[in-house]
Amino acid sequence: MIETPQVITTTAQKTAFIPVTATWDEIQEVMGPGLGEVQSALANQGIAPIGPWFAHHKRRPIESFDFEICVPVAAHVSPVGRVKSKDIPALKVVTTVYHGGYENLGKAWGEFHAWLEKSGLSIAEDFYECYVVGPESGPDSSQYRTQFSIPLKN
């Protein structure tokens, strides 16, 4: 279900994002519109995404999700509505790629966390979920690819 995790160092990245808080029941309802809000702000400013969109979760969800819907960009984005701009620094992370539909993301995260517990790595509270290949690529969800990344503690 997931590829063998590995430790890598990411590159610094400019992003356009909106902050979101949602319950488990609301998460699927807020992702699409939130992404559309960011994409609209970018289009209105003539800025194109330079990679796949991702979610930066501030903590593991318990009763709700606290995250940012992010789109990587090459230029600073002027704030508009909920859309803001920020730079994410280069990070040392443990990462893996999940193959499959979004309905099994929770199971894939469970598999990743089981691997992490055995690894002895010290991980941060926040994490990233990058939607490398998704529904825009076609109806076959077995072809979807989601990259999970968790920063390592120093």
Kindly report the pTM of this predicted structure.
Answer: 0.92
Domain count for the chain = 1
| Residue 33: inside a domain | yes
Indicate the average pLDDT of the chain: 94
Q: What range does the domain containing 77 cover?
A: 6-151
Counts for the chain of helices (H) and strands (E), in that order: 2, 8
Residue 38's contacts (CB-CB under 8 Å, 6 or more residues apart) are: 16, 17, 18, 53, 69, 70, 71, 83
Under DSSP, the state recorded for 122 is -
Give the whole-number percent of the chain exceeding pLDDT 90: 81
Comparing 94 with 1, the larger pLDDT belongs to: 94
pLDDT mean over 21-42 = 92
Predicted local distance difference test score (pLDDT) of residue 111 = 96
| Residue 112: inside a domain | yes
H or E segment to which residue 29 belongs: helix 27-44
H or E segment to which residue 127 belongs: strand 127-133
| Residue 27: inside a domain | yes
| Residue 69: inside a domain | yes
Tokens 């002027």 found at: 78
**pLDDT by residue (tens digit) across 105-135?**
989 999 999 999 999 999 999 999 999 998 8
CATH number at residue 27: 3.20.80.10
pLDDT classification of 13: cutoffs 50, 70, 90:
very high
| Residue 118: inside a domain | yes
| Residue 1: inside a domain | no
Predicted local distance difference test score (pLDDT) of residue 139 = 87
Predicted local distance difference test score (pLDDT) of residue 93 = 98
H or E segment to which residue 117 belongs: helix 105-119
N residues, the chain = 154
| Residue 84: inside a domain | yes
Q: Phi and psi for 115 in degrees, rounded to 5?
A: -65, -45
